[in-house]
Amino acid sequence: MLTDTEKTDVLTRLKKIEGQVRGLTRMVESDTYCVDVMNQVAAAQGALARVSHKLLSQHLQTCVRDAVTSGDTSRQESVLDEIQDLFARYGRIETTRKKS
């Protein structure tokens, strides 16, 4: 669970990313040089990666820690399965990006 301050920070970052994506749309619509567009895509991806890292870090420090220390085996297995699925999903994204 995010604190109010962390939630505000994440929302601020996401709004900036939203603005970056709108800017990308305008760049494509106005036939901006492809490399310039790609540089802005990379910047937006980096910003999203930072948001993901912040959310994952907070999730590990709160929800996962609580589940692991709860003594509830079913809850522990569930949260660990979620984390494994999440890492697998991000692994596919990384693999796809490297091939491109």
Residue-wise pLDDT tens digits, 40-74: 999 999 999 999 999 999 999 999 999 999 999 99
Q: Among all chains, which residue has been given the structure tokens 């910003």?
A: 47
User: Mean pLDDT, the chain, as a whole number?
Assistant: 91
Number of domains comprising the chain:
1
Cα–Cα distance list, 87 to 42, 53, 63, 64 (Å)? 21, 12, 16, 14
Range of the domain at 12: 4-99
Which two structure tokens, joined as six digits, stand for 12?
């601020």
At 93, is the pLDDT very low, low, confident or very high (cuts 50, 70, 90)? low
pTM above 0.85, yes or no: no
Domain of residue 50, CATH code = 1.20.58.1000
Cβ(51)–Cβ(10) under 8 Å? yes
Count CA within 13 A, CB hemisphere, residue 68. Answer: 11
